[in-house]
Each structure stands twice: as structure tokens, then as C-alpha cells.
Amino acid sequence: MILKEFTKGIWKENPVLVQVLGMCPTLAVSTKVVFGVSMGLATTFVLLSSSIIISILRKIIPNQVRIAVFTVIIATFVTVADYFLKAQFPDISKSLGPYIPLIVVNCIILGRQEAFASKQPVFKSILDAIGMGLGFTLSLVVLAGVREILAFGTFFNMTIMPEGYTKWVIMALPAGAFMTLGLIISLFNWINMKGKESKS
Amino acid sequence: MKKIIHILSVLTLVSLLSGACLVGVYKATAQKIVDNQKKATKDAIFKIFPEGKDSKQIDKKDLEIFSVTDAKQELLGYAFTCAGNGYQGEIKIMAGIEKDLNTLVGIEILESQETPGLGQEITNQPFKDEFKQLKTEPNIIYVKGEKPDQPNEIETITGATISSKAVVAILNKGIEKVRQEMGEK
Amino acid sequence: MKEMILSVNPHIHDNSSTRSVMREVIIALIPAIIAALYFFRIKAFVVISSCVISCVVFEYLYQKTCKKNITVKDLSAVVTGILLALIMPPALPVWVCILASAVAIILTKQIFGGIGCNIFNPALLGRAFLMAAFPTMLTSWNNPITLDVVTTATPLGLHKFTQVLTGYEPLFFGNVSGSIGETSALALLIGAAYLLIKKIINIRIPFAYIATVFIISSITNKIDPEIYAPALFNLLAGGLMLGAFFMATDYVTTPITKKGQWVFGIGCGIVTMIIRLWGGLPEGVMYSILFMNGFTPLINRVTMPKRYGTGDRE
């Protein structure tokens, strides 16, 4: 039963495809799979660390100032992630630009603290955070995969399209992000609908 | 009263811990980040001057300029950065120029947010190669849809005229500034 | 239970159906198709047939997979296909035509609920998609008849970038490069006259649109004839005739009130001229109509006639 806390973030309550949270990084950094993976992992790191701390402190954080405390904790981990990327992976940090500091305002993170970590024991919170983080990363990879293949003819920076492939410039632009996300969400819902139909 | 103390103490504690943690991380990474930036600059310089061995920043007021020397300590030319507005955001260029300040050695695009697949083509080798051995006296000019036939001419990228024009404008302005600053000595 | 169809009043009794209206539009487009085939030969034939066939097929497939009523017989997909083809450059590969048809039929029309529910003109959005996806392909043109490949040399492009004016006679008859259906003003005007006589379209939007373009370009041409093209050139060059008579008069995506139609036409004219005079692109008809499509619900609401006896007195 406890495994459910982990798997729900990946499919049933997927932060991007079902809760439609964290749209800013989802749309902005999904031009290439490498960016999607790095963004997803950075977000997972922040989500996991803040969930652990907040779950430990959940009994002593006063209700009136809980949002302020959450924000300070989240901001700390975001800054840590930002410095780490700048020092170890300067190229990725440069391409993700302002979107790493912007993890602070990613609704997935504050949402999980408010809805889950501040009410649940540590172990459950860890499972929830990893599940949600993975769900976010996976949806980013799918979205970025479609966009990277169509826009650049590559996947994970490896050329996979044949010579002479015409690149779809629109897929590297915001319009392509919105269209692809819409189509992926509708496909996701269609699969879920089919699943329900065959069950009943 | 007890409640207020509780709130205050928790807030103070969390902020203090967070501050301490950040100081630690900053101390651990600051040097590396500065090194990375320096390395990025050097990489760009030596990409423009493949025979270059050493580069030194020359102290100028509002101009980032480096003198580049080869293995025998001989001056190869200067590398300088210049920036300006592109189609979507700032374009920052590192440009190499020969000693006489009249011929470009090459350029590297340091930062740009142009449209991927169109304006972003300015970061590709074919476009950057157009600036190799380009005369800067008189000013660089661009032509559209035809092969350049003047020593100071480049061809704009199809579908990305604005970005190409921006690069030319930024370079012309940058070169003028270099001439002003370097001419003084 | 059978579905009830509700629509906003007033309702007029008439024998026309979607199918009969669409049939008249197709008849009106025949001169333009003939002109396209004459000037761009086999290339026009390939583009037109692949667009029409794939539009119809996509409509059928979408409605089949979503278990909806199949409305292919109302001919609206055929009209979308023809219009889409007429605003394409002649040298477009078949797969790009198929892709544009998918965007026009599925993403612009069916996803919003099918005919009557779409916000934007399907054919224009199909082209706008291609314009963003394959900009180089969409700005490579062919000379008429000889089919030589030229780049950015439609009459509007020639004037904007090199200040060369194309003569009025080739512009009027269509012997210039451009999208396959936009070059011949004559063929389009014949079709438009047919639609007006048959009372399929109303003169308000095209008149307001063309008059606005005429007035703005007359003024700017007076100010500086060196840079700004004369008014008549602006009317004949580019896709203005096609856009004004066949796209800006689409029933679904344009206002239904009289006042609203004037507003819509004038708005299209202003946006077109802003793009042509000061924008980065030579042509602005497509974006102007799409832009005003977005305002249609607002225009309808603001210009809705008051019911007698209600509403505040000033």
C-alpha cells in the first residue's frame, strides 16, 4: 500500500499531465532532452530535500508562518542546486538560465509541502517526493523528446533523423511547446479512458 | 505570548540554518564558478586564435579586451567582447582582431537567445567563418541572398536577416570602441 | 434521444444549407483554380489535389475515430483544402501539404468541436503553422509558367526590400510569383462577384477591409512615394483580394453583427498595412485576419443589438 505514495506521482497524479503544475519550466526548458532531464533532476532534488526537512519539522512549524518557513527552506535548496550546477555543469547551467532559480516558484514543490510533507511522516514524504519528481522528469523527457526530434532531428543530442531531414522550427518555439503538451495530455487522457473502459 | 515566541524562534532558527548552509555552499563553489567563467572566456579566445598560447586582459575603462600572444610571446592580436540587441535578447560576441585593428581574425558568440533553427544559426560555423579575415575598414556591410564580393562584406542567413544584421551592427560598434580606446596609447 | 440544436436568434427561414453554401464557394473559387493551374501548371495541381484530398481524409478519420457524425458531405473540408492550397507557395512538397491539412482540419477545426465552433480560420492557421515550422520553404517562390525558383521575390517582397515596383498588368492578371491562388486579382474578383450576386457573402467586410488598405496606403504613398508603394499596388499585390473576399468572409470566424463586420474589416485593413509598412514581413493579410479572428467573440458581444425596451438609458 505504501508503494502507492511512490507510483501515484508517476501516473495517476502526474504533476504535469494531471495536476498541470509547474508549467513555466515545462514549456520553457523542454526544447532538448538534456535540458529536460537536468531540470527534472534539479527539481526532484529540491523537492526531496525540502520534503524531508519539512516533514521532520512538521510538528514544530507554527501554522501561521508555515508558508514563510516552507519558502525559506525551498529557496535554500534551490540556491544550493543553482551553485552546484554553475560549478560542476556550467554549460547546462547556462542553457537553463533563469529557470533554475525559478524552481523556487514551481508550484509542484510548494504544493507537495502544503498538501503532503507537512502532514505525513518522513518515509512517506520521501516516497511522495521521489514519485512526484520522477513523474515531472518523465513528462519533461517525453515532451522534450518529441520536440527535440522534430525541431533538431536529434535525441539526447544524437542525430537520429536521416540526412536531409527538414527541421520543424516551430517545435523549438513556445508555440510548439504548447501544441505538443496539449497533444500529449490528450493522448494521456485517451489512454486512461481506454484503460477504464476495458476494466468495466 | 508563548505562541509569538514560538513563531519567532522557529523563523529565526530556520533562517539562520539556511543562511549557514548557503555560506557553506557558496564558499565551496565560488572559486570554481569564477574559474569556469574565466575558462569559457579563454576557450573562446583560443578558438579564434588557434595558435594563441596566452592572453592577458588589458586594463581599459568600459571595454573587455585581451592581448593574445603565441608560444614565442609574440603579439598575435586582440580579442574583445561586445554586446547589443539581437532579435530576441542580447547577443554577446567575442571577436578577435589583428594588431593593425583593420582585419577580423574571427568571432565567437558567447551569449544569444535567438530563435532556434533561424537566428540561432549565427552560432554555427558557416556564419562565423564569414568573419574570418574580414576587413573592418570601411565598416562591415551585409548583402542578402547573394555571395559577398567585397573584402568587408558578409552574407546574411536566409530567414534570419535581423539576427545577422544585429551581429554586424554590434561588431561595427565594438570595433569603433576598440579603435578609440586602443588608439590613445 | 436526438440532439437539439440551439443557436442565437434572430433566425431566418431559408433553404440554404452548409452544403449548398459550400458548393457556391467552390464554384466561386474555380476561376482562381484555373488561373493557378495556368500559371503554376503541374505544381499547382499537385498542391491543390494533395490539400483537398488530405483535408477530406483527415476530417473523415477524426470523426470516425472519435465516433462523431461524419460531416464530410457538407463540403466544408473541400473548401478548406482549396483555400489552403491557394495560399501555399507552388513548390511545396506533398508531405508538407498533408501536414498543413492536418493542422487545419484537426488542430484548428475538429478539436474545437467541428464546423461552426472553430475560433480561427483553418486554412490560414494551417499556413501560419507552416510559416513558423518551415520559414525557408514558405518564402521560396517560383516564377509563373517557367517555374524558375526565386527567393523572396513576390511583388510585395521586391518592393519592400529593393523598392522595385511590379507593373499593374501582370499583377491584375496574375503573371507574377507568389502563392498559387493569390496572384491573379482578376480571377479572384470574378469569383467574388459571383458570391456577392448569389448573396453568399456580404460586401461589408471586404469593402471595409479593402477601403482601409486603400486609404492608409494612399496617405503613406503621399508622404514618401520612395519608400511606400502606391495604393493600387497594395490592393493588387499579395493575398489581399483572396483574403478579403474568401477568408475574411468566413461565417464562423467573423462577426455576425453589421457593426461588428465593419469593425472587423477596418481592423484587418489596419493590421495588414502595419505589417506591410513597418513589419519584418512583406505580407500581412494572413496574420491580420487571424489576429482579428481572435477578437471576433469580443466584437460580437460589444456590437450585439440591444433588445427593445431593455438596457440602460444614457
CA C84-C88-C89 angle, 5° bins? 170
Task: Give residue B184's pLDDT band: very low, low, confident or very high (50, 70, 90).
Answer: low
Give me the number of domains chain A comprises: 1
- pLDDT over 60 (residue B84): yes
Q: C9-18, pLDDT tens digit by residue? A: 556 666 678 8
Residue A150, domain member (yes or no): no
Q: C30-86, pLDDT tens digit by residue? A: 999 999 999 988 899 999 999 999 999 999 999 998 888 888 888 999 999 999 999
Q: Which of B141-145, C28-32, C205-209, C294-298 has the lowest mean pLDDT?
A: B141-145
Q: Which three cell numbers stand for residue A71?
A: 519558502
Residue C144, domain member (yes or no): yes
Do C14 and C64 touch, CB atoms closer than 8 A? Answer: no
Closest approach of C210 to chain B, Cα-based (Å)? 29
pLDDT at B38 (0 to 100): 86
CATH code: domain of residue C161: 1.10.3430
Is the CB of B158 inside 8 Å of chain C's CB atoms? yes
Q: Where are the alpha helices (DSSP H) in chain C?
A: 18-65, 76-86, 94-102, 122-133, 135-138, 155-162, 168-173, 185-197, 204-223, 231-236, 240-242, 258-278, 285-302
Cis peptide before C10, with omega less than 30 degrees from 0? Answer: yes
pLDDT at C7 (0 to 100): 58
What are the chain A neighbours of B88 within 8 Å (beta carbons)?
A: none
Size of interface A-C (CB pairs under 8 A): 17
Mutate to test the interface with A, among C134, C138, C139, C140 (most CBs of A within 10 A): C134
Residue C310, domain member (yes or no): no
At position C135, the amino acid (one-letter code) is P
Q: Is the pTM of this model over 0.95?
A: no
- pLDDT over 70 (residue A197): yes
Residue with cell 580606446: B181
Contact A170 C132 (CB under 8 A): yes
Task: Give residue C1's pLDDT band: very low, low, confident or very high (50, 70, 90).
Answer: very low
Residue A63, domain member (yes or no): yes
The range of the structural domain enclosing residue A27 comes to: 3-145
The range of the structural domain enclosing residue C77 comes to: 18-302
Is the CB of A173 inside 8 Å of chain C's CB atoms? yes
Comparing CA positions, the residue from B74, B123, B81, B130 lying closest to residue B106 is: B130
Q: B42-79, pLDDT tens digit by residue? A: 888 888 888 888 888 887 777 888 888 888 888 888 89
- pLDDT over 80 (residue C153): no
Comparing CA positions, the residue from C185, C176, C301 lying closest to residue C241 is: C185
Give me the number of domains chain C comprises: 1
Residue A186, domain member (yes or no): no
Residue C105, domain member (yes or no): yes
Task: Give residue A29's pLDDT band: very low, low, confident or very high (50, 70, 90).
Answer: confident
pLDDT at B185 (0 to 100): 46
Report the C-alpha gap between A169 and A75 in whole angstroms: 35
Residue A60, domain member (yes or no): yes
What are the chain C neighbours of B158 within 8 Å (beta carbons)?
A: 136, 151
What are the chain C neighbours of A166 within 8 Å (beta carbons)?
A: 134, 137
ipTM for the complex shown: 0.82
- pLDDT over 70 (residue C4): no
Contact A69 B32 (CB under 8 A): no
Averaged pLDDT of chain B = 85
Q: C236-254, pLDDT tens digit by residue? A: 888 899 999 999 999 889 9
Is the CB of A197 inside 8 Å of chain C's CB atoms? no
At position A147, the amino acid (one-letter code) is R
3-state secondary structure of C100: helix
Domain ranges of chain B: 48-183
pLDDT at C178 (0 to 100): 87
| More confidently predicted of C311 and B148 | B148
Contact C280 B162 (CB under 8 A): yes
Q: For residue B98, list its beta bridge partners.
A: B77
| More confidently predicted of C147 and A24 | A24
Q: A32-72, pLDDT tens digit by residue? A: 899 999 999 999 999 999 999 999 999 989 888 999 999 99
- pLDDT over 90 (residue C177): no
Contact C134 A173 (CB under 8 A): no
